[in-house]
Structure formats: C-alpha cells, structure tokens
Structure 1
C-alpha cells in the first residue's frame, strides 16, 4: 500500500510532495515539485498502479504473472503477452546481442539453482563452478514480436527479468509524473533512479553512489543528475555463503555460474532506467577490462568499482572518466 506526505510550500507556488510504497520485494519512492492545485491522491494511486502492473506482469515469484505463463508455455507456441513485457523482452534480446551474451535473461534456472530464486535450491548442494555450462544467447531461443504482442520459445527456457524489470518499473513511475504535467521529479525503486528537470532553485537532484560494503551502508561519491536515469549492479546486497565463499546473485551466462571476476559494482547513466539497469548488469559480467572497452565504444557513462585486497579501485567512462 502506498504512503504519501505533503511538505511545505516552496517558491513559485510549488509544493514538494513525496510518495512511497512496496513493490517487487522492495520499496519504490517518488518526490516532486508540483503546482499546489495538483491532487496528490491521483499521483499516489497512479504510482501504485504502475509499479504493481510491472510486478504482476514480470515477476517470476508470482505464479499468475505473465512471465510465469511464458516460462511454462510449450516450446514453439506463440503466446500473447502484454505490450510492456514484449518491450522489455525485446530490449533484453537487443542488449544481449550487443554485449555478446554478457546480458542474458534466460538464467532463471541458474538463479534458482544457486539459491536466489523462487524455486531456490541449497547452493551447498550445487556442483562446483567448473561443472556449469554456458547459456545459449537469448536471441537464439526467444522470439518477440512487439507489434503483435506475442512471444515464443524455440527451446525450454526459464526467464528471469531481475536485471531489467526494476529499471522499467522506474521508467513507468516517471511516466506517471510526466502524464500529470509534473516537470520536476525524482523516482526510484531500490536505488535505481530517474530524474526529470531541476529543483525550484535550479539545482539538480543529488544522489549518493553507494560504497560496495557487505555489512554497512555509506556513500562512495555523490552525483547530481537531471533528465537521466541511473542504476547500479553490485555484489554486496544479495549474496549467499557456501563453505566460507561468498556467492554472487549475478549469474554469468557465459559460464553458467555465479560471477567471480572481482567487480564489486557498476553504476551506469542512461536515458531510460531500463537501459541503465540492463547495461549495469552486463558490464558487471563483462568485467573490468572488457566492460570498460564496451562502455567506451557504446558511449556509456559508467563507474566500475573493483575489489583489490581490502580496498577498491575505481575506473570510469564518460562523465565518470578520471574518477
């Protein structure tokens, strides 16, 4: 259920309003500066509807979700799906191709096998990393027709959209603000954020990039954003431990096993949060050298934090270059 607070009036007859609620196993938030006559209850209701629609469509934790229906559908059968799911799947296929299979949403079985999914196994019972098999590139086994609103699998496939759906949900929160004529807003789900405009005094939205620590929360840096989205993928929030070894929740489709390349986190700026979310995951998988090379070729603003002993090494591209 969403919650809402209305704070004091600021310059130019605007009011700062904040909204928040639960979705996708975490929380969403929104804040904006809007005209005093804007009905905040309308915004609150539409924000709630937007995120719950994404969750109901793209969650593999819900037996009734459209993603679950697609996962359980027979191979070779075109299945009608919502336009939103078709858009996300099509973009996932594109980014998977761009990144040479570093981004692959067909890892749902791996996520379960390593203890991070709805059908989680005990990772202590999973064989060692060297026994795993690479994933087939998603574009080779999934067809999506956005115009017709259908998709079909060419082979058995367990889709997991955790690396892109949350970003799409953030974009949907932003669309609610735009649709209601709000020109200054910041929305987010669990740290994936998107901003529009500036605050009334002309300043951008300031956000902390988190230091990738396992046991505490503290900022690594502060960035100001406007009219852009930001997402971070990391190894420090969702992990398990087996035999004294930390197991990352991020799967490497190229090996068929959890990521083990030493990357602590990657933060990406992009026009949409869907893209920022997916590219952050892909760059985590590509690693320090290949990830930086790809980000430079693609023109991405990306910040890589790499574990070295007890410390961190930062490498950046675009606006993060020289970090």
Structure 2
C-alpha cells in the first residue's frame, strides 16, 4: 500500500518554509505546523535585516564595547559565520551589511547609493577581530564598528532548525527546506532517497535542470539569478565579495553545495560563488567540498562537479 506524501508550508524570510513527509497515524499536523511556523518566526526575529527590531539589528545599533545579551541561535550562527570567514580567508564575511544596502539589496530594495558605494570600495573588512562572543554567557560585543548581515547563512540554519522541529515530533523521514536550502532526513516512504530539484539559473522563471538524491544530507544553492540588480545590460548578483567591496563578478550562474548540515552548505555555496569559475572549484577540491558549479559561457551553461 502506497503512503501519500504531504507538504506543510508557511511564509518566512521573504520566501516559504516547506516540510514534506508521510504523516504517521496519530500525528497532530496542526501542532507540527504551528511549531514549524513558531521556529521560523523566532529565527526571523533574531536574524532579519528587514525587521529594525530584530536581535541582529539591535546588536548592529549597539555601541562599540558594550556587551549585549543575544539569543543562543543567533550566537551559534555568528560563531559559524566567523569560523567560515577564517576558513575561507575572508571571502565569507558576515560584516557586509553596509555593502549590501549600498548596492541596493535587502531592505534597500533596489535603491543603490553611489556615494556610499564609492566610499566603501577598497575598504578591507576585519569582522573577525571586531566581534567578541561569549557563548557561555549568552552575549556578544563589538570591538570596532561593524554592520552584520547573515543572508549568506541564516536560511541554511533555518532549514536545519526546521528538520530539528520535525525530529522533535518523532519524524525521522522528512524533507525540510527554505527555497534553495534543503535538508533531507531519512528516506521517502518507498525507501528511496529524497529527490531534490536543482533549478536552471534563469531570471524571472523557475525551471528544473536536474535532480539529486539525498539521504541524511543537506544542499544549498547560491546563484546570480534570483536576487540581483541590473546595471546597463548586465546583472550583479547579491552575493558580496568583501575583497572587491561590491557584488561578485564572474561567470558563475550558480553553485550547489552538499554538506552534513545546511548552515555549512549555505555559507560555502556563497564562498564558492564569490570566488568564481576557476578559484571556486579549486578550493572545493582542496577542501573536499561536494559542489556543482554552473558556468555561463555565452548562451551555454558548462557544469563542473567536485
């Protein structure tokens, strides 16, 4: 007898969270939906740059040197962001908030600030040395002015949390996701791995390019085709290159990274996209990162798999 899959979903972080599962007898779907929605709302209230009252924005506005109490989840993401920043030699930097807004992304909603862009270009970010985290004490402080933005890691963390909520209800076989960040736990009801679609990197439409199968793995995709600004006849992706002081500029259309958890996959997908079609695959091979690169070559897409 076949068991039908269902999908629970709701809005969060400018997209939708989804949880796909075959509900066992006796599962309270209403309670599960409410728990998922509450967890996503909690993370958004902590990490959003769109909500002026979020914990992240409160910390951004705090005075240098003053300890600020922060929620445990936010501290975990800050610590992970700083570590991946060190591991990537600064290519991943959670201190790009000013750059993001100057170029018209996030709450700036397409309104770029040329004067601010000019002032920021060439400035070397030093976020790792500007933050001090006290994980045991549940607090953090800035040692220098810093403007944090977690858009390259927060959705991946949220997907991990979503899978964790399902586990709390005794569910071991689920597919949890937020847009391009997906966590696969266990198997489909027929025992096969979960099938996760990878999109064609097309602006303005959604088309499936291929499918990968996952069991107890996560995948995250960064690309130049969902969030971008148009400059003349060209497009600039939302992923910031701290070394340039602006958006990544290369021929990569998208990078999908597989990892044990989605937070890690999300951040490394950003790193590899920023590095480009040559340095990205080289670093992925050097670090043993499983990744799929789509490279624009005129109207053709070339694929590189590591």
TM-score range, shorter chain: over 0.9
Structure 1: distance between partners of 2:144 and 2:48: 21
1:169 equivalent in alignment to 2:165: no
Change (3 A) 1:146 1:61: same
Whether contact under 8 Å (1:168, 1:273) holds in the other structure is yes
Q: 1:72–1:124: structure 2 CA closer, same or farther, 3 Å change rule?
A: closer
Does structure 1 residue 244 correspond to structure 2 residue 233? yes
Secondary structure of the corresponding residue to residue 29 of structure 1? strand
From 268, 279, 288, the counterpart of 1:279? 268
1:312 corresponds in structure 2 to 301
Contact 2:7 2:21 in 1 (8 A): yes
Aligned residues: 306
- Please tell me whether residue 139 in structure 1 is matched to residue 128 in structure 2: yes
Q: Does 1:20 align with 2:21?
A: no
- The 8 Å contact of residues 252 and 294 in structure 2, kept in 1 or not, is answered as yes
> Separation in 1 of the partners of 2:106 and 2:268?
21
Name which of 288, 300, 303 aligns with 2:277. Answer: 288
Which of 175, 191, 196 does residue 202 from structure 1 map onto?
A: 191
Query: Aligned-pair distance for 1:291?
Result: 1.6
Deviation at 1:126, TM superposition (A): 5.1
The match for 1:269 among 258, 264, 284 is 258
| Whole-Å separation in 2 of the counterparts to 1:119 and 1:157 | 18
State yes or no: 1:39 paired with 2:28.
yes
CA RMSD after TM alignment: 1.8
Counterpart CA distance in 1 for 2:244 and 2:123 is 4
Task: Verify the 8 A CA contact 2:104 2:113 in the aligned structure 1.
Answer: no
CA offset at residue 15 of structure 1?
Answer: 5.8
Alignment partner for residue 141 of structure 2, among 152, 158, 173?
Answer: 152
Report how far residue 33 of structure 1 moved: 1.9
Alignment partners' CA distance in 2, 1:201 and 1:243: 50
Distance 1:226 1:121, change over 3 A: closer
Indicate if the aligned counterparts of 2:95 and 2:146 stay in contact, CA closer than 8 A: yes
Distance 1:126 1:246, change over 3 A: farther
Are positions 1:73 and 2:62 aligned together? yes
- TM-score normalised by length of structure 2: 0.95
Asked whether the equivalents of residues 129 and 257 of structure 1 are also in contact (C-alpha less than 8 Å), the reply is no
* Cα distance, 1:247 vs structure 2: 2.0
| Separation in structure 1 between the aligned mates of residue 86 and residue 183 of structure 2, nearest angstrom | 25
8 A contact 2:8–2:19 mirrored in 1: yes
Distance in 1 (CA, whole Å) between partners of 2:190 and 2:275 is 40
Q: Which residue of 2 aligns with 1:58?
A: 47
* Corresponding residue for residue 321 of structure 1: none
Counterpart CA distance in 2 for 1:169 and 1:71 is 21
Describe the shift of the 1:80–1:124 C-alpha distance in structure 2 as closer, same or farther (beyond 3 A). closer
Change (3 A) 1:142 1:45: same
Structure 2 distance, partners of 1:107, 1:209, is 28
Alpha-carbon deviation of 1:145? Answer: 2.1
Which residue of structure 1 lines up, in the alignment, with residue 95 of structure 2? 106
Contact 1:124–1:242 (8 Å) recurs in 2: no
Runs of 4+ in 1 over 4 A off after TM superposition: 126-131
Aligned-pair CA distance for 1:288: 2.0
